[in-house]
Amino acid sequence: MAQAYDGGDAEGSGRQGPGARLRRLGERLRRDRGYWRRGIVLAVIAVLVALVMLFHAQIPNTIGNLGSLTETFLPWLGVFVPVLLVLALVRKSATAVIAVLVPVIVWFSVFGGLLTDKQKSGGDLTVATHNVNADNPDPTATARDVAASGAQVVALEELASDALPTYKKALAATYPYHAVQGTVGLWSKYPLSATAPVDIKLGWTRALRTTVATPEGRVAVYVAHMPSVRVKLDSGFTASERDKSADALGEAIAHEPLGKVILLGDLNGTMNDRALSPVTAQMRSTQGAAGSGFGFSWPAAFPMARIDQIMVRGVEPVSSWTLPRTASDHLPIAARVRV
């Protein structure tokens, strides 16, 4: 008499097929309620990580600028996912495993677009910016490395007074035009005009504005170095000076008469940081629009955040990338745009 197939293999060896194994797993989960009761704490942590990524803008800055601190390193919350998954498997918790899927979905919905390569060919102007570090031990090599990028316009920040002549000499052959205001400077293959310092409420000059006469038309270029931020146990994320400077810089850009604007510099903040919204709300990040990956620029030894920015208004980003490491503690970045 023929017998019904019970999930064993065709040769009757007793091995079970996938269907039978899934049924046995389902029955085991129904019998052992511990699979669902274990790992509740892990599940709660996973959901909290997802909520922070989704609602980071609601985290208040009133206590130690906690909101801005979270937003500076927001992509790194994804590091918790594999850790939580391993712990959920060790605990043999179905609840925790399922809960871990929530931050995975949220992370990819928030940052997945940055992982795709959006770089295109074309463009007619290449720009670069680099915080060269006031204590740079080899300014000549740093200047030559940045010039080797092929950029027609290069911004440098944190120019020490004793190193400035070295930068000028190293870049003179490639860039016949330059302008320096305080500790920031711009070197260009095209003529500059209407150069002036920009007051970002520091008491000394760390920003400038100039007009670059490109073959495709005049472009207003801003170079800025926002005040540094620190994380301290007693006061949290100390960014008040940076925030005031961002307000002032945003105000200056908002009143810019030229329609084509490029901002180059070290903003000491990421595009996610709400404190930079006076600037980021009116300009586009070249990395977000035409880059590949996160483009982290600091610290150079192990980049964890993109605090160096190239932003545009009225011009089209075509590609954006990070340049090789120099003797600075920042990585230089570059972008190509269509004017």
Show me where the domains of the chain are located.
Answer: 18-115, 125-338
Q: Which residues contact 198 (CB under 8 A, 6 or more apart)?
A: 207, 208, 209, 222, 224, 248, 249, 252
Other Cβ atoms less than 10 A from the Cβ of 73: the count is: 13
Confidence band of 9 (pLDDT split at 50, 70, 90): very low
Pairing of strands 153-157, 125-131: parallel
- Output the six-digit token pair for 291: 């880059």
Q: Which residues contact 68 (CB under 8 A, 6 or more apart)?
A: 61, 237, 239, 243, 269, 273, 274, 275
Rounded to the nearest integer, the mean pLDDT of the chain is 90
Pairing of strands 316-322, 333-338: antiparallel
Q: What is the pLDDT of residues 145-204, one digit of tens each?
A: 999 999 999 999 999 999 999 999 999 999 999 999 999 999 999 999 999 999 999 999
- Please give the pLDDT value at position 7: 47
> In CATH terms, is domain 125-338 a member of 1.20.200.10?
no
Confidence band of 1 (pLDDT split at 50, 70, 90): very low
Q: What is the pLDDT of residues 25-54, one digit of tens each?
A: 566 656 665 666 788 999 999 999 999 999
- Please give the pLDDT value at position 62: 80
Region 306-323: mean pLDDT is 97
Q: What is the pLDDT of residues 73-118, one digit of tens each?
A: 999 999 999 999 999 999 888 899 999 999 999 999 999 988 889 9
Query: Contacts from 209-215 at CB under 8 Å and sequence distance 24+?
Result: 209/252, 209/256, 210/179, 210/186, 211/258, 212/153, 212/186, 212/188, 214/124, 214/125, 214/152, 214/190, 214/339, 215/124, 215/190
Alpha helices (runs of H) in the chain, residue ranges in sequence order: 18-31, 34-37, 40-54, 66-72, 80-90, 94-115, 139-147, 164-171, 240-254, 277-280, 286-290
Confidence band of 229 (pLDDT split at 50, 70, 90): confident
- Please give the pLDDT value at position 100: 95
| Cα 132 from chain centre | 19
Of 221, 230, 239, 147, the closest CA to residue 184 belongs to 221
Whether the Cβ atoms of residue 308 and residue 267 lie closer than 8 Å to each other: yes
| Cα 209 from chain centre | 24
- Please give the pLDDT value at position 94: 87
